[in-house]
Structure 1
Amino acid sequence: MPHELHAPHARQRRALLLMAALTPMVSLAGASPAPFSVHVGGYAPTCEGIYRFAADPATGHLRPAGLTPNPHSPSWLQADLARPGLLYAANEGGGSVHVYRQQADGALQLLQALPSGGQGPVHLSLHPSAPFAFVPHYGSAELAVLRRAADGQLSPVGLHPSCDRSQPEDCRVGPARAVTGPPGSFALSGHEAPHMHMALSTPDGRFVLASDLGRDRLAVWPFNPESGALGRRQDLALSPGAGPRHFVFHPKDATQLYLLNEQASTLAWLQMEPQSGRLSQRAEISSLPQGFAGTNFAADLIVSADGRFLYALNRLHDSIAVFALAADGAPRLIAHEWTRGSYPRSARFSPCGRWFYVCNQRSDHVAVFAVDAATGLPRFAGQYVAVPSPACAEVMLAGASR
């Protein structure tokens, strides 16, 4: 990466551009949507790798277009928007990361396979302006920082535990049951030890955040974009037993973020002080219908490009929870839509923001939805796409390769 990209003004400009690209964009009136492909990874042994589909931009429907073999459970996929045509896979079952390049015909070519640095890599994200990637590990509760070369290949920089293991109090886990969860819930998924579930840089690139499901904490580190080093960690304690999982920043106001708690099935509305990185919680509301009782595991969280809506996935209730975001960022639950399958683990928007792809893991399919731009509500678009044990989908523009 050229040295001038590390200048503060250049970093800020590129971060804003990349932030816009990271969220779905609404097509201009009369413009033809760009063709794109959808790549889906999942869990072995039924999932055999990364399944590629050609999308019809007019209907959102998918057509099978190939399989890239990968027997190591590629459960998280991340496209590199700064270098179109590159795709990264975190292989949860293999403790590794794969780097792929999309060919002219859409097929994926493996460029690199390397150890991820810990046990059970469950997520992968890219810094918005500096050449680094972040891989959190569920099994070993460690954050790997990897440097990206000009061709997209990775090399290890550092491995950071989510807590200080020399201080037992720092690594103490939360209660097995969420105090803010629904009555009768047996959503017991990971409070026997620390478990890092997601890591993401702030849009300005100054901090890196990671959720620890076992400790009920959201960690924040200052980040050095030159060396890839992390500074002193600070934590936000969440409600006991909540099990923080995935989080997103507000696309119009990066001081606000939203975090989905897996075991409590709640959405936490958070505030970040931009200079210190200090977090505070403003509210916590359920992702389930009023009166729900029993067990549910919340999963993925997606924000619309205009910052008006949030979409949370509920596993066992098998729904898309739709939240409207007020002008001040306050979330309000407005609807639930059945995912047309069982155990929705993740979802992605199409590049135009009209189509929404939900990975129903236990139903072995991806369900296609259309999202109304005015109301934010998803409706089933009439297609089930067979994929064995799907865990994550990623969208790439057709023919985008370098």
Structure 2
Amino acid sequence: MQLIFGTYTKGLFTSNLNPETGQLTDPIKISNLEEPTYFDLTTNQQLLTVGRIGQRGGVFNYKTEDHQPLLPLDQATTDGPTPVHVQVINNLALVSNYQTGVGQIYQLTPDGQLALTDQFQRSGSSVLPQQATSHVHFMTLAPDGRLLVLDLGTDEILTYDFDRSTGQLGNQVASFRTRPGFGPRQLYFDRHNSNDAYVLGELASQVAVLHYSSDTGTFTQRQLISTLPDDWIGNTGGGAIQLSADGQFLYASNRGHDSIVIYQIQRISTGPHLQLIDIISCHGVFPRDFCLTPDGQYLVVGNQKSSSVVTFWINNTTGRLTIIDKINVPEPVCVKVNA
């Protein structure tokens, strides 16, 4: 099972995970691109990553070959900082720019070319010093095909009408405002009811359970739960969230507390409810990102500040984690399985 790691400054790396043992092979560098801090994989063996060349930041598309150097296909850059996130959905690439508050939408051709179809500029602020301006951190599509934009700087989740065939935005139809200082970072919809969603608040170290209305494009909050122990005092921030393959557990990482939190998803009449199971060490420092393997057997976390990648075995009955292996990867900040 091939894993790919994006890093803070050191390029992209790959490693094999043994599906029988959870052991990792030594990493191999497959690209020297600067600041490939987040990437996504297409269904036809392409890898689309944020990155930078000199003073120009943007997105870069590559063809992947098994453990071989990535083959450049196309790039779209501008004078300015590296984007923070990219998500590929079918032939669309949704690119979030944290520092500038800009969202961009690209169409991908079958041969990997990038065509900008729309973009928008956000503005605004919220209550914390980190929220002096807009910070577009994440974009995805709702179950009804509308575009959702998470603005960490303004504590908002914005809903736009969206034409998937042209990649163009329509009108903004709704805005959900989190509690002040929440800092929405990532959002994923429930595997059992696609109108329920889980949102990680980076600045608050909390997870919000929301319900989405396809009629109006609006969210309502059903639960807000901490990712930290009650007695924790110190600086920390949410890193990533992931749902288990069977939809029974939710995992989140804490950067600063250096831990992985495990919740059981309880199915009650009012919708999903998170019940804390455990908070364990990530066996490293600053767990920026992690992934779950498609077979549901392993969780793989990248610890940016300790330059390590750690695999855990997942108990599918309890959701609990057991450490299996640890390798050195320089400043890992994005972890994905190349299925």
TM-score in same-fold range (> 0.5): yes
Change (3 A) 1:239 1:71: same
**Aligned equivalent of 1:79:** 41
**Aligned equivalent of 1:148:** 108
Select which of 41, 52, 63 maps to 2:6.
41
Select which of 270, 284, 291 maps to 2:231.
291
SS in structure 1 of the partner of residue 222 of structure 2: strand
Say if 1:343 and 1:362, in contact at 8 Å, map to a contact too.
Answer: yes
Structure 2: distance between partners of 1:307 and 1:100:
31
SS in structure 1 of the partner of residue 247 of structure 2: coil
**Aligned equivalent of 2:167:** 228
- 1:135: Cα distance to partner? 0.3
Q: Which residue type is aligned with residue 280 of structure 1?
A: T
TM-score normalised according to structure 2 size: 0.93
Change (3 A) 1:370 1:210: same
Identify which range, 282-291 or 138-147, moves more after superposition.
Answer: 282-291
Confirm whether residue 351 of structure 1 aligns to residue 294 of structure 2. Answer: yes
Identify which range, 105-114 or 148-157, moves more after superposition.
Answer: 105-114
SS in structure 2 of the partner of residue 370 of structure 1: strand
**Aligned equivalent of 2:314:** 371
SS in structure 1 of the partner of residue 73 of structure 2: strand
1:257-268 equivalent positions in 2, closer than 5 A: 257-268=197-208
Select which of 50, 57, 62 maps to 1:95.
57
- Aligned residue pairs, count: 333
Say if 1:116 and 1:135, in contact at 8 Å, map to a contact too.
Answer: no
Structure 1: distance between partners of 2:292 and 2:101:
29
Say if 2:31 and 2:69, in contact at 8 Å, map to a contact too.
Answer: no
Unaligned runs of 5+ in 2: none
Select which of 91, 96, 109 maps to 1:136.
96
- 1:105: Cα distance to partner? 5.6
Change (3 A) 1:203 1:396: farther
- 1:62: Cα distance to partner? 1.6
Say if 1:39 and 1:52, in contact at 8 Å, map to a contact too.
Answer: yes
Structure 1: distance between partners of 2:239 and 2:30:
26
1:46-65 equivalent positions in 2, closer than 5 A: 47=10, 49-64=11-26
Select which of 191, 196, 209 maps to 1:256.
196
Say if 2:14 and 2:67, in contact at 8 Å, map to a contact too.
Answer: no
- 1:291: Cα distance to partner? 2.6
Structure 1: distance between partners of 2:106 and 2:230:
43
Select which of 120, 126, 129 maps to 2:88.
126
Change (3 A) 1:219 1:56: same
Q: Which residue type is aligned with residue 164 of structure 2?
A: P
Confirm whether residue 395 of structure 1 aligns to residue 334 of structure 2. Answer: no
- 1:202: Cα distance to partner? 2.0
Say if 1:118 and 1:142, in contact at 8 Å, map to a contact too.
Answer: no
- Root mean square deviation of aligned Cα: 1.8
SS in structure 2 of the partner of residue 362 of structure 1: helix
Q: Which residue type is aligned with residue 133 of structure 1?
A: A
Say if 2:4 and 2:335, in contact at 8 Å, map to a contact too.
Answer: yes
- 1:152: Cα distance to partner? 2.9
Say if 1:120 and 1:140, in contact at 8 Å, map to a contact too.
Answer: no
**Aligned equivalent of 1:400:** none
SS in structure 1 of the partner of residue 59 of structure 2: strand
**Aligned equivalent of 1:29:** none
Change (3 A) 1:332 1:263: same
- 1:299: Cα distance to partner? 1.1
Q: Which residue type is aligned with residue 264 of structure 1?
A: A
SS in structure 2 of the partner of residue 78 of structure 1: strand
**Aligned equivalent of 1:22:** none
Deviations 1:83-109 (A, max 9, x none): 2x1111112685121111122565422
Structure 2: distance between partners of 1:117 and 1:132:
23
SS in structure 1 of the partner of residue 305 of structure 2: helix
Instruction: Compare the two structures and name the one with the higher strand fraction.
Output: 2
Deviations 1:174-216 (A, max 9, x none): 111xxxxxxxxxxx6x212111111111245x11112111101
**Aligned equivalent of 2:260:** 320
SS in structure 1 of the partner of residue 338 of structure 2: strand
Structure 2: distance between partners of 1:372 and 1:141:
40
Q: Which residue type is aligned with residue 84 of structure 2?
A: V
Say if 2:96 and 2:104, in contact at 8 Å, map to a contact too.
Answer: yes
Structure 2: distance between partners of 1:87 and 1:366:
20
Confirm whether residue 384 of structure 1 aligns to residue 326 of structure 2. Answer: yes
**Aligned equivalent of 2:127:** 175
1:325-344 equivalent positions in 2, closer than 5 A: 325-327=265-267, 328-344=271-287
Unaligned runs of 5+ in 1: 1-35, 164-170, 177-187, 398-402
